Amino acid sequence: MEVLDALTRTGSGELIPSTNYATSFVSNFNNREVKEKMAFGIRSLSDPKQRQEALEKMNFLLRFIPKVSDMEKTITGYLREDAAELAKRGGALQTAVYTASNFLNSENSEAFIRFILDPNKSAERLREIMPKRFTNTEEVLRAFGLIAAEIVGESVASTYEIPFRVEEKTALNVSSVQSKAKTYEQLLRSGRLDEFMSKNPEAYAMLKQAYQQRAAA
Residue 102 confidence (pLDDT) = 82
**Cis preceding-peptide flag for 163 (omega within 30 of 0):** yes
Both 130 and 202 in a single domain? no
Residue where one domain finishes, among candidates 153, 179, 203? 153
Residue where one domain finishes, among candidates 153, 175, 209? 153
Inter-residue contact 143 to 99 (CB < 8 Å)? no
Q: What is the pTM for the complete model shown?
A: 0.63
* Confidence band of 15 (pLDDT split at 50, 70, 90): very low
Query: Is the predicted pLDDT of residue 67 greater than 60, yes or no?
Result: yes
Residue 165 confidence (pLDDT) = 61
Q: Which domain holds residue 76?
A: 2-153
What separation in angstroms does the CA of 123 have from each of 100, 127, 153, 163?
Answer: 18, 6, 14, 34
Both 69 and 145 in a single domain? yes
Helix (H, G, I), strand (E, B) or coil at 46: coil
Both 145 and 204 in a single domain? no
Average pLDDT over residues 3-8: 74
Both 52 and 112 in a single domain? yes
Both 31 and 79 in a single domain? yes
Average pLDDT over residues 18-31: 79
